[in-house]
Amino acid sequence: MTPTEKQSWSLIRSRGHTRFIVHTLLREGVPFALVVVGGLVAYDLLTHGHYEGHILPWPAIDLAFNFLTLALVFGYGMGETRWRKNERNFRDSHA
């Protein structure tokens, strides 16, 4: 880790793990969910002419469920992975 990266990560980690996870969820999880759910809707519209719920029988609730699930799982996974990687690199650079 370069000195600039160390300084940047020190500032990020001082703000806390939870803030980092929420920020990553919003920055990466939401766009990912928009693309995936948008593709799912586009596919259904092109092949069936309308959107049908895949998990739940109500299309609007199904879309919301899919969106929230994808955003939370992907955003949390990316945030936690990046946090651990940066923490490991930060600690290794101090050793």
Read off the pTM.
0.82
Paired tokens of 94: 């101090």
For residue 3, being part of any structural domain is answered with: no
pLDDT of 20-58, one tens digit each?
Answer: 999 999 999 999 999 999 998 899 889 988 887 777 788
CB 62 within 8 A of CB 55: yes
Tell the burial category of 57 from Cβ atoms under 10 Å away from its Cβ (0-12, 13-18, 19+). Answer: exposed
CB 35 within 8 A of CB 74: no
Q: In this model, does residue 12 exceed pLDDT 80?
A: yes
d(CA 30, CA 9): 23
Structural domains of the chain, count = 1
For residue 5, being part of any structural domain is answered with: no
For residue 9, being part of any structural domain is answered with: no
For residue 24, being part of any structural domain is answered with: yes
Q: Which domain holds residue 52?
A: 15-94
